[in-house]
Each structure stands twice: as C-alpha cells, then as structure tokens.
C-alpha cells in the first residue's frame, strides 16, 4: 500500500465522524426546491447532476439525477458550528470558521461536496502557516529535546525520526533521559538497534539533567550531527516533574545558550482538548519550538490539530499514524483537510 493510501485509509477511518456529519447536515435540511442548480454559484460546476447519476443509469431510468442541497441559513450555520465543536476543533476556532463561511456563502444552496470543499479550504488556510518540517541548523550537534505527557508517543516518535534522519545521512545519537524506568531505556535501546543509532544511558534514578549534559558533551566531542533527547512522560499538573524538564534545558544551555535547538512537544491526538492545556503548561516552562501529533490513526479527534494551529501558531512538524517505523508523515495541510472533511475520495 502506498504511503498516501495508507494515510487516507487510516485517517478516513478515524475522522469519518465529521464526514458523516457534513452529509447529514445537508440532507436533514434538504432544500426541496433544489433540484435545479444555482449556476451563479461557481462551486456548482463540481456537482452537476449528470456527474452523479451517470449516463447509463439515466438511460435505464434509474437515479433522479438529483443532488441534495441546503440553503445556508442561521440554523444550518449553528448545526455546522456544533459539528465542528464535537469534532474537537474547539469553540473559538469553530466560531471563527463558521463566521468566515457565513460571510462568503450565506444564502447559497450548497451540496455536501460543496460544503466539504468550503470547509476543507477554511481548514487548509488555518493549517498552512504552521505546517513546517523540523528545521535543521548548522550546530554540531543540533540538539532536539522531546517532551510530552505520559504515553504520548515520545519514544516511538524518536525511533521514527531517527530512522528518517539516518536515511538523510545524519550521524545521530540518542540520550535516554527517562532515567526512572528501566523499561523505558530498554524500549529506546530496541529502537536504537533497529535504526542503528547509539543510545546513551545512565543507571536508574540518575538525574536526567546530568545525563543530558554528559550526552551533549560526548556528542560534541564525537562531532555528531544530531543529539535527540528522550525524556520521561510528565503530566502537566506535576510541578516537580515540569521543573525537572526546565532543569534539563538549563543544563544544556550551559554548553550552548542556543541549545536545545528544537524542543518538540509530542501530543496524543486521542486526548482531544486536553492537548490545549498540555501546550499551555509546557510552553510556560520550556520554549516549545514545535509540535508532533501522534495516534491520528486511532482517533476521531483530528480536529484538535486545527484548534492547536489556530490557537498557538506553533509549527506542526509531523503526524504519527501508526506504531511502525515508517508511520510518521510530514504534515500536509491540504491533504489533511481533505481527509478530515471526507472530501478526499469524492473527487
């Protein structure tokens, strides 16, 4: 299966809630007088009845050649807002999107495909400014610190990222700064062996900041391109653990005030709106430079990405769509918006 096909099938599966909702929205308030097409609406060219019914079907007398449409009014707009909110786009973003749609399309008859297309465009506009790959710097090593709450997918993402960087010819070392759980170090070592990247570790319960410092010094001496630092999961309400993360950053800065060059927050899409509070709290303590959203394959909450993009304007570098080594995809806003709205596959 091609990567794109895999991405589509995984995300379509998980985000069908919005797709289904948009179809229902049109059909519930279907405009009975709408068999004729509003040719003043430029979007109508995409949904001509002929295209849907098909020539053979018409010859055989099947198919009405009728595409349901609904006139955009206050009621429909309110239902659209509700649908966006339950799709995890957040209240503010949902209102922002629906008001924008109202400005442009109030009073127009819209088919499901037209509504999906309008919404996909709105979402793309929000996502486009934040979709950026991880920036690479000339620093040797470039230090990438990975943070996030428990189980968000940090270690797995480091494995996937290392594999991609390795393929790009980078000389990498990973520091296992989750020093509390022996299993965490083992998990990272398995990834290290898989992608053939050395993993630096310390004995259990060592201060993670001390290991980060040592690893940075060593990576510098050895002229490595990248040092990726894994950290323990920490819930944003655990002040002591959050302070420990801030300490890792302080210690790294003693070697180079520009480091860590990237501090990436890994967020689990299945946690929905809680991702917003995670970003807020982590941002207060460390200078988050970008986000990676994992588990979009298992979530019906892909809308959270739109909420995050609108609220924080932080770069979204990649999305996780599975547990495998190749399941980290660059973030393509248009493709994501098309899949999220269910437009993909209809064209």
List of residues contacting Mg ion (CB under 5 A): 154-155
- Nearest distance from C-beta of residue 248 to ligand GTP, angstroms: 15
Number of continuous H segments (helices) and E segments (strands) in the chain: 13, 10
CB atoms within 10 A of CB 332: 17
Our finding on whether 290 is near ligand GTP (CB under 6 A) is no
Among 79, 93, 114, 152, binds ligand GTP (CB under 6 A): 152
Measure the N-to-C terminal CA separation of the chain; round to a whole number of Å. Answer: 20
- Segment contacting ligand GTP (CB under 6 A): 77-85, 87-95, 107-115, 154-162? 154-162
Q: What is the 3-state secondary structure (H, E, C) of 125-168?
A: HHHHHHECCCCCCCCCCEEEEEECCCCCCHHHHHHHHHHHHHHC
Among ligand GTP, Mg ion, none, what binds residue 236 when CB lies within 5 to 8 Å by partner kind? none
Residue 294 DSSP symbol: E
Would you say the C-alpha torsion 82, 85, 91, 95 has a positive or negative sign? negative
211 to 250: interface string for ligand GTP, x by CB under 6 A: ----------------------x-----------------
Our finding on whether 295 is near ligand GTP (CB under 6 A) is yes
Our finding on whether 184 is near ligand GTP (CB under 6 A) is yes
Among Mg ion, ligand GTP, none, what binds residue 309 when CB lies within 5 to 8 Å by partner kind? none
Non-local CB neighbours of 125 within 8 Å, separated by 6+ positions: none
Say whether the peptide bond before residue 141 is cis (omega within 30 degrees of 0): yes
- Contact by Cβ (8 Å): 116, 47: no
Our finding on whether 105 is near ligand GTP (CB under 6 A) is no
- Segment contacting ligand GTP (CB under 6 A): 169-177, 194-202, 215-223, 289-297? 289-297
Our finding on whether 150 is near ligand GTP (CB under 6 A) is yes
Q: Which is nearer to Mg ion, 142 or 155 (CB)?
A: 155
For the chain, give the longest Cα–Cα distance.
78
Find the helix packing angle between 91-105 and 74-84, rounded to 10°. 150
Q: Which is nearer to Mg ion, 29 or 198 (CB)?
A: 198
Number of residues that bind ligand GTP (CB under 6 A): 20
* Separation CA 165–CA 64 (nearest Å): 54
- Nearest distance from C-beta of residue 278 to ligand GTP, angstroms: 12
* Burial tier of 26 (Cβ tally within 10 Å: 0-12, 13-18, 19+): buried
**Which residue of this chain has its Cβ atom nearest to Mg ion in the complex?**
155
Q: Which two tokens stand for residue 27?
A: 């059909």
- Nearest distance from C-beta of residue 299 to ligand GTP, angstroms: 9
Our finding on whether 270 is near ligand GTP (CB under 6 A) is no
Our finding on whether 320 is near ligand GTP (CB under 6 A) is yes
Site for ligand GTP in 161-180 (CB under 6 A): 178
Where are the strands (E) in 202-286, listed by range? 226-231, 262-268
Our finding on whether 278 is near ligand GTP (CB under 6 A) is no
- The SS3 of residue 54 is coil
128-167 burial, b at 16+ Cβ within 10 Å, e below that, comes to: eebbeebeeeeeebbbbbbbbbeebbbbbbbbbbbbbbee
Q: What is the total residue count of the chain? A: 347
Q: Which is nearer to ligand GTP, 125 or 326 (CB)?
A: 326
- Nearest distance from C-beta of residue 160 to Mg ion, angstroms: 13
Our finding on whether 208 is near ligand GTP (CB under 6 A) is no
- Nearest distance from C-beta of residue 154 to Mg ion, angstroms: 5
Interaction site with ligand GTP (CB under 6 A): 148, 150-156, 178, 184, 233, 294-295, 297-298, 320-323, 327
């Amino acid at each position: 299966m091609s990567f794109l096909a895999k991405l589509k099938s995984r995300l379509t599966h998980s985000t069908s809630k919005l797709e289904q909702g948009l179809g229902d929205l049109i059909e519930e308030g279907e405009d009975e007088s709408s068999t004729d097409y509003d040719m003043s609406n430029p979007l109508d060219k995409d949904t001509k009845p002929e295209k849907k019914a098909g020539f053979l079907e018409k010859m055989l007398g099947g198919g009405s050649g009728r595409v349901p449409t609904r006139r955009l009014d206050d009621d429909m707009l309110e239902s659209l807002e509700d649908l966006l909110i339950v799709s995890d786009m957040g209240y503010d973003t949902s209102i922002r999107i629906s008001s924008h749609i109202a400005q442009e399309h109030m009073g127009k008859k819209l088919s499901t495909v037209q509504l999906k297309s309008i919404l996909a465009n709105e979402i793309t506009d929000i996502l486009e400014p934040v979709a950026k790959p991880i920036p690479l710097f000339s620093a040797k090593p470039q230090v990438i610190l990975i943070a996030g709450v428990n189980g968000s997918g940090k270690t797995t993402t480091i494995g996937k990222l290392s594999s991609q960087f390795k393929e790009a010819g980078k000389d990498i070392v990973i520091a296992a700064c989750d020093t509390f759980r022996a299993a965490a170090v083992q998990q990272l070592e398995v990834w290290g062996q898989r992608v053939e990247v050395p993993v630096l570790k310390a004995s259990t319960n060592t201060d993670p900041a001390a290991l980060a410092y040592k690893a940075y010094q060593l990576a510098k001496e050895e002229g490595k391109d990248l040092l990726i630092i894994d950290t323990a999961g920490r819930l944003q309400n655990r002040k002591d653990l959050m302070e420990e993360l801030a300490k890792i950053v302080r210690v790294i800065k003693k070697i180079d005030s520009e480091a860590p060059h990237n501090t990436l927050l890994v967020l689990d899409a299945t946690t929905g709106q809680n991702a917003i509070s995670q970003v807020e709290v982590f941002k207060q303590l460390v200078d988050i430079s970008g986000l990676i959203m994992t588990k979009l394959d298992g979530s019906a909450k892909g809308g959270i990405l739109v909420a995050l993009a609108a609220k924080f304007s932080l770069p979204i570098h990649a999305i996780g769509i599975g547990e495998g080594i190749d399941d980290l995809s660059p973030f393509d806003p248009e493709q994501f918006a098309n899949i999220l709205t269910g437009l993909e596959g209809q064209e």
